[in-house]
Amino acid sequence: MPQLERFMAAFEGSDAAHGQTTLGSQRRNGKTEAKSFVVREEVTQDKVKDHLKGEQGLGAIPINRENKCKFAAIDIDTYPIDHKELVCKLDSMKIPMIVCRSKSGGAHLFIFFDDWYPAAEIREYLTEIASAIGHSGCEIFPKQDKILADRGDVGNFINLPYFDSEQTVRYAVNKAGDDLELDQFLDWIDSNRVSMSDLEKVDFGTQREFMVDGPPCLQVIVSTGAMEGVRNKVMFNFGLYLKMKYPDEWQEKFEDANSKYCKPKLPASEIVQLQKQLEKKDYFYQCNEEPMCSYCNKPLCKSRKFGVGNGVSADMPHIGGLTILLSEPRLYFLDIDGHRLELNTKQLQIPLRFQEACMEQTKYMPPLMKSADWQILINSMLKDAAEIEVPEELTISGQFKELVENFCTSRIKARSPEELEMGKPWTDEGKTYFKIKGLQEYLKNHGFTHLTRPQMQRRLEEMNNNKKCSGSYRYKDDKGVWKNTRVWWIPEVKKDEIVLPVEDVHEAPF
């Protein structure tokens, strides 16, 4: 199979749209600024060719209309990042993913399937993988379990590797830390496609007999020995788990855990100090502190007997994946823990309105954020939001234009200029004239009340190529008297007449 076709087959996703990104300057955190937008066209060989030649970058949307995927990814926005270390970690856990350098210097971890599988199931596994490798909270593609396709939603795209393939900075990396050529990357994909049943067999550190009823972050950290430099912090949280599970013998088990899991062991004095601290009061797990937050798997943790569902205060869900539908008025699509929300501007702007929208659309009420914190969060998402262009008829200007043209060509047209005073449009010498009140009445009858009079004037000027659209019109009445009247106008609209077929009445209807 030719290289172009192999690349297209690897990133087969939505056939309704794809993404494009324009790069800007570099931010202080090392990430490159970018402007993203969605194009409502399927991916073609020409677009792939332009991507590989370095002419126009391409983004693929993993999720299709049926809410299924054939590839998925984890986007790690950590700068700088050791790509070789990531490859080795995935290899040691036998996780079938390949690491690529992203356009901004982070890492994209791709997985490729042998068939289409439900996005919700794939997201669940990738969330577990991200937690297992110490990068919890990073973005998962697809970003949602389901898209709102009937509302214009297409999902979110991820920028593809090997842009400008011959001198790319978006390359795959092997265990030795070497860059892979494009053909080597495609060969890896062909040899490492997996099924969901294959993925179910992978041990992410949370399927072990050890600590199956406790926080998965501690399960992975303690069982894999990822405690270097953080022994005290991990043991404090491990003590919370033991205290809940073994209220009468937790201290003895705490000392045993120090001997078994801490390499080297904590001094006895530090163990005694931790025990005294734990005895003072009932603490909560330190979910937002390292290393726990990097290995966090909140959905799984909530389901466990001694996880965060056992007395921990409510935490904010993961919110992201903002997409702006450039309709009038604007529509916004946002992800909250994998659920896709449709929001208007007020619902995005005001925390209480957002909370109401969550309750209505997901049957879940998230904690209410302070307005200042919410503003910071929304502004950060607006910077990176992808925009979806819409047909003109879905904008207020487009709707107005269509209604004005229909008004000027409808059956209520004036038979003489005198009927202008009755609110009817009159066409003369390439222009259609009308009274503004007549147009306003027509718009109101068709449920269109979105524009003020000055806004209507501006859009009528646009229909006249930004020239004058109102003034005095002089005509003779039926008595031969000249009169002047104040009118508005647009260029004459000539619509093709539709000729309906004439039925043969002599022919039997059945």
DSSP 8-state class, residue 137: T
pLDDT at 324 exceeding the cut of 60: yes
Give the residue-averaged pLDDT of 48-74: 96
User: What predicted TM-score, i.e. pTM, was given to this entire model?
Assistant: 0.71
d(C-alpha 148, C-alpha 319), whole Å: 17
When the pLDDT of each residue in the chain is averaged and rounded to a whole number, the result is 88
pLDDT at 450 exceeding the cut of 90: no
First to last CA, the chain: 54
Please report which confidence band the pLDDT of residue 436 belongs to, taking 50, 70 and 90 as the band edges: very high
Report CA-CA distances (Å) from 462 to 263, 425, 457, 466. Answer: 74, 19, 9, 5
Neighbours of 30 (CB within 10 A): 14
Q: If DSSP codes are grouped into helix, strand and coil, which group holds residue 472?
A: strand
Least confident of 69-78, 333-342, 374-383, 489-498: 489-498
pLDDT at 503 exceeding the cut of 80: no
Please provide residue 350's backbone torsions phi and psi, each rounded to the nearest 5 degrees. -110, 120
pLDDT score at 499: 39
The more confidently predicted of residues 210 and 110 is: 110
Give the residue-averaged pLDDT of 59-64: 97
Give the residue-averaged pLDDT of 256-274: 89
Is residue 106 a contact partner of residue 78, using CB atoms and an 8 Å limit? yes
d(C-alpha 40, C-alpha 43), whole Å: 10
Name residue 17's amino acid: A
pLDDT score at 288: 86
Please provide residue 239's backbone torsions phi and psi, each rounded to the nearest 5 degrees. -65, -35
Provide the H-helix boundaries in 66-118.
83-92
Name residue 126's amino acid: L
pLDDT at 104 exceeding the cut of 50: yes
Domains of the chain and CATH, by start? 3-200 (3.90.920.20), 216-302 (no CATH), 319-390 (no CATH), 393-491 (no CATH)
Share of the chain above pLDDT 90, in %: 62
pLDDT at 484 exceeding the cut of 60: yes
pLDDT score at 272: 92
pLDDT score at 82: 92
Which run of H or of E encompasses 141?
A: strand 139-141
Please provide residue 453's backbone torsions phi and psi, each rounded to the nearest 5 degrees. -60, -45
pLDDT score at 255: 92
d(C-alpha 328, C-alpha 399), whole Å: 9
Name residue 41's amino acid: E
Q: Which residue has the tokens 């996005």?
A: 119
What b/e string do you get for 260-277 counting C-beta neighbours within 10 Å, with b at 16 or more? ebbeeebeeeebeebeee
Please report which confidence band the pLDDT of residue 109 belongs to, taking 50, 70 and 90 as the band edges: very high
DSSP 8-state class, residue 251: H
Please report which confidence band the pLDDT of residue 509 belongs to, taking 50, 70 and 90 as the band edges: very low
The more confidently predicted of residues 208 and 250 is: 250
pLDDT at 203 exceeding the cut of 90: no
Q: Which of these, 473, 490, 492, lies nearest to 421 by C-alpha position?
A: 473
Q: Which of these, 253, 274, 251, 177, lies nearest to 210 by C-alpha position?
A: 253
Give the residue-averaged pLDDT of 472-478: 91
Please report which confidence band the pLDDT of residue 223 belongs to, taking 50, 70 and 90 as the band edges: confident
Q: Which two tokens stand for residue 43?
A: 């991916």
pLDDT at 309 exceeding the cut of 90: no
Please report which confidence band the pLDDT of residue 404 belongs to, taking 50, 70 and 90 as the band edges: very high
Greatest distance between any 2 Cα atoms in the chain: 114
CA 61-28-104 angle, 5° bins = 30
CA 469 to centroid of chain Cα atoms: 42
The more confidently predicted of residues 502 and 212 is: 212
Query: Kind of pairing, strands 482-491 and 431-434?
Result: antiparallel
Report CA-CA distances (Å) from 322 to 336, 381, 418, 505. Answer: 10, 6, 54, 58
Name residue 209's amino acid: E
pLDDT in tens, 84-95: 999 999 998 899
pLDDT score at 327: 83
Share of the chain above pLDDT 70, in %: 92
pLDDT score at 510: 32
Q: Which two tokens stand for residue 170?
A: 């978006």
pLDDT in tens, 125-154: 999 899 889 898 899 999 999 999 888 899
Neighbours of 204 (CB within 10 A): 22
Please report which confidence band the pLDDT of residue 314 belongs to, taking 50, 70 and 90 as the band edges: low
Please report which confidence band the pLDDT of residue 1 belongs to, taking 50, 70 and 90 as the band edges: confident
pLDDT score at 496: 55
The more confidently predicted of residues 182 and 257 is: 182
Q: Which two tokens stand for residue 166?
A: 């011959």
Least confident of 65-69, 155-159, 397-401, 506-510: 506-510
Task: Report which listed range, 90-94, 106-110, 391-395, is most confident.
Answer: 106-110
Contacts of residue 120, defined as CB under 8 A and 6 or more positions apart, other chains included, come to 67, 145, 146, 338
pLDDT score at 507: 38
Q: Which of these, 418, 421, 405, lies nearest to 491 by C-alpha position?
A: 405
Please report which confidence band the pLDDT of residue 315 belongs to, taking 50, 70 and 90 as the band edges: low
pLDDT at 31 exceeding the cut of 60: no
Is residue 84 a contact partner of residue 107, using CB atoms and an 8 Å limit? no
Give the residue-averaged pLDDT of 15-43: 76
CA 501-505-507 angle, 5° bins = 100
pLDDT score at 181: 96
